[in-house]
Amino acid sequence: MCTFFTCKYLSAQDSVAIFKVVKSKTNFIISPSNNVLWIGVDNKICIKTEGEGKIAKIEITGATVSRNDSCYLVRVSSGSGHEAILSIYEMLPGGKTQLALNKKYNLVSLPVPEILVCDVKSDSTIDKFSLMAIGKLTAKLKGTNEKLKVVSFEMQTGNQTTIDTLKSGNEKLTVEMKRVIDLMKPGSLIMFNNIICRNAKGDLLPPMNVRIFLDEKKIYQYGF
């Protein structure tokens, strides 16, 4: 919501919030219109003007702000359950600036992603046939129905002295990965590292790691 006394909230249309600054004949159009900043990711905020005014600068309490084309990338690292204030300053004739409006945001932690290797949780056992037949990683946010897109990952195998790393540019095991798995013995540990996921907003989430153990029997679930 707009909290500065010179500002009126007009409407929200197609995820865009429109604010009228009473003293300057300017509308500020902010998208998205929600009042949430996710902690630990880049939140994209776009601000446009209608009328005579131009944006001089913006500030957000407790956050870092960088320019991204005509929008801003806002990142907060902590503060779940607290608030941040977006302050927009307007350029005046003569080069002076004035505070045009404040918009309040709630700081919210992202739900924890859950990675499944061929429908198996981390620290579980899977048989070689199922691993090669299903052959892909999936992800979702715990406690929600939101699915995540696996963008890339690494598979690491080996022993205490030698580690082999293979990379995939999507959610699927590569042909070379399957060849390595086919030669592995029961009880072998397989690490899936640097798993990069993209959420519904298009944000890339921090890398995650999971591990599974190879077995000749059917799938057993032990993981968390």
On whether both 155 and 180 belong to a single domain, the answer is yes
In this predicted model, what pLDDT tens digit does every residue of 25-71 receive, in sequence order?
A: 788 889 888 888 988 888 899 998 888 778 899 999 989 999 887 79
**What does DSSP assign to residue 205?**
P
Would you say residue 153 lies in a domain? yes
Q: For residue 183, give every residue at least 6 positions away whose Cβ sits within 8 Å of its Cβ, in sequence order, or none.
A: none
Q: Supply the CATH number for residue 158's domain.
A: 2.60.40
Would you say residue 224 lies in a domain? no
Q: How far apart are CA 58 and CA 72, in angstroms?
A: 9
On whether both 87 and 124 belong to a single domain, the answer is no
What pLDDT is attached to residue 15? 59
Give the predicted TM-score (pTM) of the model.
Answer: 0.54
On whether both 45 and 78 belong to a single domain, the answer is yes
Q: Which of 61, 91, 109 is the last residue of a domain?
A: 109
In this predicted model, what pLDDT tens digit does every residue of 37-50 receive, in sequence order?
A: 988 888 899 998 88
Q: Supply the CATH number for residue 83's domain.
A: 2.60.40.1930
CB 117 within 8 A of CB 137: yes
C-alpha distance from residue 190 to each of 27, 74, 180, 207 (Å) = 56, 37, 10, 17
How many structural domains does the chain have? 2
What pLDDT is attached to residue 217? 66
Average pLDDT, the chain: 84
C-alpha distance from residue 204 to each of 100, 105, 186, 197, 199 (Å) = 32, 21, 34, 6, 7
Q: Domain containing 140: what range?
A: 113-215
Would you say residue 220 lies in a domain? no
Please choose, from the candidates 207, 175, 178, the residue with its C-alpha nearest in 3D space to the C-alpha of residue 193. Answer: 207
pLDDT of residue 7 exceeding 60: no
On whether both 56 and 150 belong to a single domain, the answer is no
